[in-house]
Chain A
Amino acid sequence: MLSYNSVVNDSIKYNDLTISVVESITKINLRGKKRDFITKIGKSISILLPTESNTSSNNEDLNLLWLSPDEWMLYENEKINSENDIYNLEDELFKEISKINYGSVTNITDHWVMINLKGQKVYELLSTSCPFDFKNFKQNKGSVVQTIFNHIDVIIHHKKSNDLNLFVRRSFCDHLLSWMRDAASRM
């Protein structure tokens, strides 16, 4: 696992908006088309794969986001406590899926950084540089969207009302954060 210094150690707080980097969260990319793949995932982690576009499913510990008709992202709610944590879930899925060619399992924990956005003004912040129309997204808990935010690819997950998890590639994280800090300071 990558060890690095987070750009934001504490959260950045504004009126009605809190931006915090949540590290480290286990994230796993799942790809597959076969029927066996879909049932195996359901059995291994006790969540059904969301097949409807722009949606997610979850249980107490895990969130499973729809990314494309044959691609999903799985992430944990709890931060990684020890080096072992990160590999348990991956190992389990790898054994059940990759090894027998049902699909592919890739650990992308270090690829994406999760940023939590919370407060009344989250959509106002996003609207500063996001071409996506959040009208329906806002109304449906569990919605997922992959779009661009300030020209950067992001995945946004509607976790709770005015509480979103945004995923950005690690190399863009620093830039996006300082840009959000600037945008939020003017709201």
Chain B
Amino acid sequence: MFLINCPYCGERDQSEFSSGGEAHIVRPKQPKELSDDQWAEFLFMRKNIKGVQFERWNHAHGCRKWFNMARDTSNDKIHAVYKMGEKPPIK
């Protein structure tokens, strides 16, 4: 079983959560001024690294709140869980 520590509800099984992909992607302020390539970069391109990745998660079957997580994609070890709008507590 893979447990995730929801910042609001506490430790819960992973099956209660859904992943929202990479975190901290800033929406461009003036989308109209971007080229198609630049817009596609924002919309589709994700790092998908092997190692610690910053992700958004949603406690879909619990409190339904979004939060951020630093997860090692190679071994599923969770290094940090932090709220939306907060900076990653680790580098």
Contacts and interface: CB of A to CB of B under 8 A. Distances in A.
B15 A131 contact: yes
A63 interface: no
Interface stretch (B4-12, B20-28, B32-40, B69-77): B4-12
A147 B64 contact: no
Interface in A34-53: 53
| Interface SS of chain B | loop
A131 B13 contact: yes
Given A53-B9, A132-B12, A147 B1 contact: no
B63 A147 contact: no
A131 B64 CA distance: 17
Interface residues of A, number: 13
Contacts, number: 36
A26 B64 CA distance: 23
A68 interface: yes
A147 B10 contact: no
B50 interface: no
Contact of A148 (B1, B9, B61, B63): B61
Given A53-B10, A131-B15, A132-B12, A69 B65 contact: yes
Interface string B48-91: 00000000000001111100000000000000000000000000
Interface of B: 1, 8-13, 15-16, 61-65
12 contacts: A67-B63, A68-B65, A69-B8, A71-B63, A131-B13, A131-B16, A133-B11, A146-B61, A146-B63, A147-B61, A148-B61, A153-B61
Interface of A: 53-54, 67-69, 71, 131-133, 146-148, 153
